[in-house]
Amino acid sequence: MTITKKTDGDTLTVVVDGWLDTMTAPKFQEEVQDLCGAKNVVLDFGGVEYISSAGLRETVALYRRVAAQGGAFSVRKVSAGVMDVFTLTGFDRKFEIRAD
Amino acid sequence: MKKPKSFFVKICLFLALIVLTIDCIMLFLSFRITYDNTIEKARTTIKNAADTAVQYTTSVYLEYEDTRKQLSEDYSYLCDVFEITYIYAIKIDPDKKTETYLAIGFGADATQEAKINRSPGVVVEGALNDEELKVHNRESNRAYSHETTQFGETLIVYVPCFNQFDSDGSKYTDKEDVTVIGAEISLTSIVKSIQKRFMLIAALTIGATLLMVVSFGAILYFRVSKPIRKISRQMNNFVSDRENHKNVEKLKVKGNDEFALMADSFNSMTDEIDRYINDIDALTLEKHTQEAELNIARNIQMGLLQPKHTQRDMFDIRGYMLPAKDVGGDLYDYRILDDGRIFVTVADVSGKGVSAALFMARAITLINQYAKMGYTPARMLEEYNNTLASQNPGGLFITTFVAIYDPGDGTLTYSNAGHNIPYILSDTLIPLREVHGVAAGLFEGETYENARVKLKEGDTLFLYTDGVNEAKNADGGFYSTERLEKMLSSCIEAGSEQVLEDILGDLKRFVNGAEQNDDITMLTLHIKPCRDEVVLRLKSEPKQLSLIRSAIRKLPVSESLRKTLYLSAEEIFVNICSYAYDMPGDVEVRLAISDGVGMTFTDGGKPFDPTAEVIDIDEYDHENAIGGLGRFLTFSLAEQYRYEYRDGKNILYLFFKEVNENDDHKEN
């Protein structure tokens, strides 16, 4: 899994490529520890084919941090399989998750 | 129906024909006799007349015209006296073949024409006949001629007359000089009068005959034909009257002849039949009521049964019941329990009819309830026996076999309450006779035991009731347990998966249409062979997840299912790695492919039921909670899941359906 971060004004875009599972979740957590001072976060899941509950947990943790600082949080370019997991767990009702 | 030709008309016509024929023959004969008599009488008359005429003639001299005239008058007088037509004297000239009238007398019936043609002195040529000649030649003293001429039918007698006087009036007898005297009587009028008389007689006779035939016919009609018709009509009416529920009309008995006897017999016969039919009607009604009750029983019985065929990813269940005519109270039942285990049972109530069916209804409801409560087969039977026995006024009992199959480890747990020994069709035929208790429903407090046996893929459990082995053919022979076992063994050899159909086919061939005495019930549970199976023996280290993943990667499943498998395998395996052992221990992961994928995780760690306390996503605190998401995801995605702790091991069984496959056959 690789993670690329881009800052555009007060919005941080995190591009994730690969599986977000038990093995990679710690790395993801580490990478997003530093929000580079951005207020809002966009997760680009265009390269994520698979997410497990470990990945979900990190995603939710990130959302909570952004929400706590009053920022906007969204997940973009979500594939159908990953979208199912978000829908099943009800997280689609908590933050913005988009397929585009 | 064609209108029948009356028997009496036939008889009357036949009789009339015979009588008329006899009449005609009689009339003809008597006519002939009368005619002959008349002719005979006429002969006598003309003979007498001719003889008298000879007396008159011999004494006169015929040369004088006056004399001849006088003689003619005398002849006429004689004609009147004898009532004949002509008397005449003729002279015959044989050479010239002529005859000359000397004198002629006419009777009352002489024709005018004859009077002119036959006047005295007339010479007639060519009218000479043999009789006249014979007399003239003295060959005969009397000759008769019966002839029919233009004057009609006549009878003539010729006699010779020898003149006693010569021309000068002196008396002599010249035998050479013959005068022929003819006396002639016209038969036309006589025959006519006879004919007339006979016509009258014939008319009277025929009239009498017809009258007789008509009266005979009338008698026949009123005394025979009409009564017969009436009886016949009455017989027809008897049927329609009965159909219309009218009272059957009685025949009136008149007189004491055969028909009265017949009418009387008919009346008593209809009475008998009427009573008999009423009896039959009553019996039929009773039979219908019984049949209706048996139908109710049959409907109760059949209505409670599961579908005949249920197929799932790893197994195939078939049930069959054919109730006997008087309904025996058999049952079969099966259920896929919530934890994925399969419950099967077959039972047989002692007794028949509605009571057996009602008992069966109670039994099936109870056993089902206990199965749903998760009881072991032995416990099910104990509860079931106690409940049934506590309220069993009819004293019925029920033999029951109960089994639960666990697809996770292939164990079949069973218990038996007095039921026929079932079989497992494995490599050999295995009878399940390990445990055998008392039939249920009679004695409260009975205990039952569980027995276990492993079923491997491809095995079939065969349950049945005694309606199978005790099925009778027309010769009274039983199908027998031996034949059943032989047939089941041959199913193993043939590798048949349709054991139930094979046995049923053989049973039907054996019975060959003989009446069925008892319900025939069978149930098979066939464990489908997996298309593929992978067993991974791992250590409880998260890194080993990759081994599971690579195994999953090789599975011939859809990408969508593969993702689900990755997710579930990760969640469960990571869970085990995190909590099962203090130090890394053994974890066995088994992947079995059929119509979906079965995943079994077995570990020897601390007892932990992952299926317990699964989060409710609607009440989940998305903001704050952390744990439980993985298990929630896994059990949401699994078609079936079940956990058990057995022999010191945590066993979690999961089954995932292939989503792209056609699901039509899976639910009945």
Question: Are the Cβ atoms of A52 and B571 closer than 8 angstroms?
Answer: yes
B403 part of a folded domain: yes
B566 at the A interface (CB within 8 A)? yes
Residues B452, B540, single domain; the answer is no
Residues B477-489 have a mean pLDDT of 92
Cα B163–chain centre separation: 108
Query: Residue A21's closest CA among A1, A35, A41?
Result: A1
- Average pLDDT for residues B44-63, to the nearest whole number? 84
- Where does B59-108 have alpha helices with state H? 65-82
Do both B366 and B430 map to the same domain?
A: yes
A-chain CB neighbours of B632 within 8 Å are 89
- Selected residue with higher pLDDT from A96 and B407: A96
Based on the fold, state whether residues B521 and B545 are members of the same structural domain: no
- For residue B538, CA distances in Å to B193, B542, B544 come to 150, 10, 7
What pLDDT, in 10s, does the model give residues B107-121? Answer: 888 888 878 878 887
**Upper half-sphere CA count for residue B629 (Cβ side, 13 Å):** 27
**Residue A52 carries which side chain, given as an amino acid letter?**
S
Q: Determine the structural domain holding residue B81 and report its residue range.
A: 27-193
Rounded average pLDDT over A54-78: 91
CB B633 to CB A60 under 8 A?
no
pLDDT of residue B135: 86
Residue B188 lies in a domain: yes
Residue B303 has pLDDT above 90, yes or no: no
When mean pLDDT is compared over A73-77, B62-66, B89-93, B512-516, the highest value belongs to: A73-77
- pTM equals 0.45
Q: Do B172 and B165 form a contact (C-beta atoms < 8 A)?
A: yes
What ipTM score was computed for the predicted complex, to two decimals? Answer: 0.84
B440-456 burial, b at 16+ Cβ within 10 Å, e below that, comes to bbbeeebebebbebebe
Per-residue model confidence (pLDDT) at position B113 = 80
* Res B623: pLDDT: 58
- The last residue of a domain, from among B460, B493, B527: B527
pLDDT at residue B59 tops 70 = yes
Considering its fold, how many domains does chain B have in total?
3
**Residue B45 to residue B39: CA distance in whole angstroms:** 10
Instruction: Say how many domains are in chain A.
Output: 1
Last residue of a domain, one of B125, B160, B193: B193
B256 pLDDT higher than 80: no
pLDDT band at B663 (very low <50, low <70, confident <90, very high): very low
Q: What is the pLDDT of residue B239?
A: 76
Asked whether residue B316 falls in the same domain as residue B397, the answer is: yes
Write the pLDDT tens digit of every residue in B175-190.
567 888 899 888 887 7
Residue A90's SS3 state is coil
Judge whether residue B9 has pLDDT over 50.
yes
Q: How far is CA B309 from the centre of its chain?
A: 39
CB contacts under 8 A, B 623-662 vs A, are 623, 626, 629-630, 632-633, 636-637
Paired tokens of A60 = 């939710």
pLDDT-based confidence at residue B569 (cuts at 50, 70, 90)? very high
Q: Contact A89/B633, CB-based, under 8 Å?
A: yes
Taking residues B521-548, report their average pLDDT: 84
The verdict on B506 and B609 lying in the same domain is no
Q: Which of chain B's residues have a Cβ under 8 Å away from the Cβ of A22?
A: 542, 545, 570, 574
Contact A53 B629 (CB under 8 A): yes
Does the beta-carbon distance from A90 to B617 stay under 8 Å?
A: yes
Site from B567, B619, B636 to mutate, A interface, most A CB atoms within 10 angstroms: B567
What pLDDT score does B596 carry? 87
pLDDT at B291: 85
Q: Is B571 on the interface with A (CB under 8 A)?
A: yes
- Whether residues B560 and B614 fall in one domain: yes
If you average pLDDT over residues B265-294, what whole number do you get? Answer: 86
Task: Kindly state whether residue A1 falls inside one of the protein's structural domains.
Answer: no
Q: Which domain range does residue A76 map to? A: 6-97
Do B412 and B457 fall within a single domain? yes
Confidence label for B417 from pLDDT (cuts 50, 70 and 90): very high
Q: Residues of A with CB below 8 A from B563's CB?
A: 49-50, 81
CA–CA separation, B118 and B184 (whole Å): 13
Q: What's the rounded Cα separation, in Å, for the pair B401 and B542?
A: 45
d(CA B590, CA B604): 15
Contact yes or no for B629/B617 (Cβ under 8 A): no
Q: What mean pLDDT value characterizes chain B?
A: 85
> How far is A6 from chain B, CA to nearest CA, in Å?
26
Long-range contacts of B225-233 (CB under 8 A, 24+ apart): B225/B6, B225/B7, B225/B8, B227/B259, B227/B262, B227/B263, B228/B7, B228/B259, B231/B259, B231/B262, B231/B263, B231/B266
Pair B361, B497 in one domain = yes
How close A53 comes to chain B (CA, Å)?
Answer: 5
Mean pLDDT in residue range B122-138: 82
Has residue B622 got a pLDDT over 70?
no
Q: Quick one: closest CA in A to B574, which residue? A: A22
A39-A41-A47 Cα angle (round to 5): 165
Model pLDDT for residues B625-651, shown as the tens digit of each residue:
556 888 888 998 999 999 999 889 999
CATH code at position B319:
3.60.40.10
For residue A16, the domain's CATH number is: 3.30.750.24
- Residue A59 falls within a domain, yes or no? yes
The partner residue sitting opposite B545, judged by closest CB among A22, A50, A91, is A22
Does the pLDDT of residue B151 top 70, yes or no?
no
Q: Are residues B495 and B416 in the same domain?
A: yes
- Could you give the C-alpha distances from B505 to B48, B468, B492, B499, B548, in angstroms and in order? 120, 12, 16, 10, 47
Q: Are residues B541 and B633 in the same domain?
A: yes
* Percent of chain B surpassing pLDDT 90: 28
Mean per-residue pLDDT, A71-89: 90
Q: Is residue A38 part of a domain?
A: yes
Tokens 């089994």 belong to: B403
